[in-house]
Structure 1
Amino acid sequence: MKTASDGVDVVHTPEQAAGLELAPLLVLDPLRHYFDAHGLGGGDLTWQRIGEGQANLTYLIVRDGERFVLRRGPRPPHPPSTHDMVREARIQKLVARSGVPVPEIVSVCEDPAILGVPFYVMRFLEGEVITDPIPAALDAPEERRRTALAAVDALVELHAIDVSSGELSSIGRPDGYLERQVRRFSALWDQSTERSLPELHEVGAWLGAHVPRTQRPSVVHGDYRLGNLMFAADAPARVAAILDWEMATLGDPLADLGYFTATYAVPGGSATPIELTSVTRLAGYPDRSELIERYADRTGLDVSDLAWYQALALFKAAIFCEAMYTRWLHGERPGDTFAPTLAEGIPAMIADARQFIRHA
């Protein structure tokens, strides 16, 4: 844990922040005053960057042994309607009322005077996020299998929430969701890139010409993968919380299944920058077909068009990753080691999307 500023991403005062070319990510003095005013611990504030998210940023904040998690967007500017921390917090509170496991949100700050952008604070939740390596308690072959199946079951429970009425019905417009996704991300490409990748436009054109019929609306997480799930620290494997709700809305539930399976690493599959939990290549983890079959059996949904949703997942991922890459080229992501990999990583994602299309 750290207490001092690093002079770039973290500073102590707004005056220090004003003297920087790039806005810092934490400003410790006003943040400490905010925590004091909202009864969030006491004493000195220590901080540590946690998580492997590349868009929004997450920090562990500790005060007198009491732990909190702060989540904020990246440095501005960024495209409109992205990195909306207030909306993200609201959706988590709403799905929590339906029994979906999420961290407890204790405060939401819309005042830009604190950090320059909105943020929210959660209570720290004990558990394991599986990227690499596998936690010891979940590493036996039977626990590897249970881990992936538990992820599917949590997705089934999320998609079972009634969104026909109540506050959740207001978080999105499920009618036309798939068409809007293709149009919106196609338009974002031109705002996000400084290079020509014609294969991406070919994928977008195919998606637009073959939009499947949505069978029923649901809450869509939008970034559903093992790396955005927290598992209980002991066996048997079970999901303790679903994390990172920035992309959540109402739409077609198969969009989540497509993203989950398209980014799920399998033996012999190509590696891309969004393959953030590569351990599922190891023995014991189910293959994609078993996960898809389990979801279909438990929801009754027809998954015969899933390749379209898998291609959509990689199309969208390529575009939002391109925005990160371009910002890195402009010097807006100093010290970033992920963004440079996107020079070749994004064409690899597009190639995988084309592979799903060939099997559609």
Structure 2
Amino acid sequence: MSQSTTTAESRKLPFYAAMVEAIRQEMQRDSSVFCLGEDVGQIGGVFQSTVGLFKEFGAQRVRDTPISETAILGTALGAAAQGMRPIAELMFVDFMGVCFDQILNNISKTTYMSGGAIKLPLVITASTGGGICDAAQHSQTLHGYFAHTPGIKVVMPSNPYDAKGLMTTAIRDDSPVVYLFHRALLGLPVMNFIDARFAEEVPEESYSIPFGQARRVREGSDVTVVAFSQMVPKALVAAGELAAKGISVELLDPRTLVPLDMDAIFASLEKTGRLLVVDEDYLSFGVTGEIIARVAEQLDRIKLKAPPRRLAIPDVSIPYSPALESAVIPQSRHIVAAVEELMTFNL
């Protein structure tokens, strides 16, 4: 488990700017890095995920594409196989359904089926998550789909510092990486009505964060809360409310889903004995259940004080209505209630 620290002089950047800075620095460092996707050029991405790059690097390295997700990933796959390092943006993670064959049967399996002869240093980026009333086809997270597929690494930053460091690592990795950024965390001026973490200290120099190292967001002794992406700041708010009630929450942010830092979770549980996993994905057959299953397999050495609890989206499509959307996506109030319930057990 790693703490995010730096001795260098830092500035405050919003999530989207930190992410773009990592891409810019890697494009400056390595001429094989390039971006492609819908509106990534002069517009700079509909979520400002490539803002300013077209002006600096030109149309050859920041390529606007037709509206064809299959073509985008097919191009990225071919370029990566030839030694380039493409960053392919698909705008919304929901759109990955259009080109899932490319991901499931080509990108994830090429290195394996070539006996390791073909490396695919490819980053697939997309916005993810709800909270802004984009309805059922534009509000999903879907990271569990990619984590379930061997051959793909899955990255889910929750703050600007990690957004930059994990993007740097993703670009330099020789394996396919799915990098998902939550729209409610981006800190875009046009989205400032969202409860988001807008700006944090981010070093100007390039740095990387190793995959598979969780971040302890808050130290505690009564219950371990594991949360991803936008669920991290929500869980942090809940932890503050619970502290006022005398309940000490240890909050872990795995940062990457594949690889997953289970050692950090085990170490925390040996101290707290209680576990809540919070995820903005569907409940059934999801990441929450996977983490709890891995904990259950270690119950011979980890003694729990309460049955593990999971909190995720119930098995329904995400509604358009603000009230209904807020009801199905886990909120701080749901985390508080789940932790309070856990504290009533003492096995």
Normalising by the smaller structure, the TM-score range is 0.3 to 0.5
Task: Kindly indicate which of the two structures has a greater share of residues assigned to helix.
Answer: 1
Task: Kindly indicate which of the two structures has a greater share of residues assigned to strand.
Answer: 2
TM-score (normalizing by structure 1): 0.33
TM-score (normalizing by structure 2): 0.34
